[in-house]
Structure 1
Amino acid sequence: MALDADDLSPAQDAALKMLREGRVTAPFVADETGYSLQYVREQLTDLVKHGHVEKIHDGLYELVEEPTGGDDDE
């Protein structure tokens, strides 16, 4: 089940913004955002679970589908 944009954590929102630019690793997201590596991994795993992100290789993530709703769709 996909998430709505309003349901995203700040870390998920930040990761998705980076994923719009291309593939990312959890350590890269953690370094760029200041969130802990473990927290970023949990947030990316949740995005994978909801079908927004795909883990395409060990530790490498890619955007699959944007969450719906939120300010961007108004």
Structure 2
Amino acid sequence: MADIDLSPTDRAILEMLREGRATPAYIAAETDYSRQHVRNRLQRLTEHGYVTRLHKGLYELADDPEQG
């Protein structure tokens, strides 16, 4: 799948996942984005292989698109 243009939300999510695993609720609370918006962006990042869904509601960074 082709690379995507990263939104500010995507960048915030990736920054948090660089620190370790996180849930959409935690990311939303820490970034002031809505939980639904974070979930939508996590789904998109997962589709592109940048994030892995480990378990319902738990995500980790798989392939950082900003690390070239």
Asked if TM exceeds 0.5, the reply is: yes
Query: 1:18-39 CA distances to partner (integer Å, 9 max, x unpaired)?
Result: 1000001000010001001100
Q: Secondary structure at the match of 2:59?
A: strand
Runs of 4+ in structure 1 over 2 Å off = none
Higher relative contact order, chain-length normalized (CA < 8 Å, sep 6+):
1
Paired positions, count:
68
Which residue is 1:25 aligned to? Answer: 23
Does the 8 A contact of 1:30 with 1:40 survive in 2? yes
Does the 8 A contact of 1:2 with 1:67 survive in 2? no
Which residue is 2:50 aligned to? Answer: 52
The alpha carbon displacement at 1:2 in A equals: 4.9
Q: Any stretches of 5+ residues in structure 2 without a counterpart? A: none
Alignment TM-score, normalising by the size of structure 2 = 0.91
Q: Percent identity between the aligned chains?
A: 51
Which residue is 1:3 aligned to? Answer: 3
- Which structure has the larger Rg? 1
